[in-house]
């Protein structure tokens, strides 16, 4: 079967799940956020510590854009200043000093987050290394070493890497070294399958950005289970559970509460501050939508994940190709902005 036809067949078999709604937990007096926490591990998608204290998620994720936003706030300036002070007048200079300082800022934010959340924090590798296996390996090892020097066990850290072929290969090696990875900027089943075959710890499929692309391309709104971003995560979740993959699925990048509630039961969901607030202020019953046992009854053909198949199937998916590239560019741009500020500060 032609690769493009195979991918479409798999998606057709994977996505119909709305009829398999599971009974809601006892919801008397509980907000939707509290109900969701009974079905799914809730993760804070923010660099803001007060948000984490307010909503008490299990884990937290960061990325260059979130750290750039947080670093502009007066209450977090001391972390930036600490990293700068550690490098000012040191043996490194210019871009090397800025790179090392930026790494330190990421770790300092992570250390503060780990004082709040009981679980894990994701710290992202520079997006400019998205096509550099050796560079990603070196950065991942350095970040873990920095955390361990601060007394943090590597089990509490996820190294965040872009879901390019090179990123997945680097993550596969890091996983074998006991460094758990979160594969981000993931927009397609073939990326997810390659990550699972590489035995990465966790993936972050981007619901909202998929929705954005289809909304613009087709000039229409999507809601509920028909939302292409929701359908993508359902497809990946069912594929993993059917074929026994242990890689965790964490839906990310949400645009509205409906996308979140349609994925109740997913392994994890990482949610922004505004949507956490909406969930916390709503008390309607929340039903479980995804279920590992139900996935066992689906007809889910396997798809290939070798390099040639990966590159071709990803290329066949215009949305995934465009959004992966766009995401890398945006994260790289925000890293450059933060790096520029650091360069000015260290002189």
Q: Which residues are catalytic?
A: 160
Rounded CA gap, 199 and 104, in Å?
A: 28
Q: Which residues does 153 contact at the CB level (< 8 Å), separation at least 6? A: none
Quote the CA–CA distance of 342 and 336 in Å, as a whole number. 10
Q: Which residues contact 200 (CB under 8 A, 6 or more apart)?
A: 168, 171, 172, 175, 180, 181, 182, 183, 247
Q: Which two tokens mark 50?
A: 């007060």
Which residues, including other chains, have CB under 8 Å from residue 17's CB and lie 6 or more apart?
225, 234, 238, 289, 290, 294
| Alpha helix stretches (DSSP H) within the chain | 3-14, 32-37, 49-55, 64-71, 77-87, 94-114, 133-149, 165-176, 189-197, 207-218, 228-243, 257-261, 273-280, 292-295, 307-316, 318-346
Cα–Cα distance for residue pair 25/156, rounded to 1 Å:
29
d(CA 161, CA 179): 12
E strand or H helix that includes residue 170: helix 165-176
């Amino acid at each position: 079967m032609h690769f493009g036809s195979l991918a479409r067949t798999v998606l057709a078999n994977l996505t119909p799940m709305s009829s398999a709604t599971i009974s809601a937990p006892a919801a008397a007096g509980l907000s939707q956020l509290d109900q969701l926490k009974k079905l799914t591990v809730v993760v804070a998608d923010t660099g803001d510590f007060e948000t984490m204290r307010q909503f008490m998620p299990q884990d937290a994720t960061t990325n260059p854009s979130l750290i750039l936003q947080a670093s502009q706030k007066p209450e977090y300036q001391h972390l930036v200043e600490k990293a700068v002070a550690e490098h000012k007048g040191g043996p490194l200079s210019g871009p090397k000093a800025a790179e090392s300082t930026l790494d330190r800022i990421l770790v300092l934010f992570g250390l503060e987050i780990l004082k709040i959340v009981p679980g894990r924090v994701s710290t992202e590798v520079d997006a400019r290394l998205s096509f550099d296996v050796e560079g990603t390996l070196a950065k991942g090892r350095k970040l873990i070493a920095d955390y361990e020097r601060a007394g943090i066990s590597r089990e509490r850290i996820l190294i965040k890497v872009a879901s390019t072929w090179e990123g997945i290969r680097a993550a596969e090696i890091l996983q074998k070294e006991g460094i758990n990875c979160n594969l981000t900027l993931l927009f397609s089943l073939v990326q997810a399958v390659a990550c699972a075959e590489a035995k990465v710890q966790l993936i972050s499929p981007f619901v909202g950005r998929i929705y954005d692309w289809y909304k613009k391309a087709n000039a229409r709104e999507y809601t509920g289970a028909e939302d292409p971003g929701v359908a993508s995560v359902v497809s990946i979740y069912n594929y993993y559970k059917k074929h026994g993959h242990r890689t965790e699925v964490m839906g990310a990048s949400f645009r509205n509460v409906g996308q979140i509630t349609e994925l109740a039961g997913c392994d994890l969901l990482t949610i922004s501050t505004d949507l956490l607030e909406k969930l916390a202020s709503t008390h309607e019953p929340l039903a479980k939508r995804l279920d590992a046992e139900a996935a066992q009854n689906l007809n889910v053909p396997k798809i290939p994940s070798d390099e040639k198949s990966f590159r071709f199937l990803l290329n066949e998916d215009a949305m995934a190709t465009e959004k992966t590239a766009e995401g890398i560019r945006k994260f790289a741009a925000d890293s450059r902005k933060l790096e520029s500020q650091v360069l000015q500060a260290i002189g």
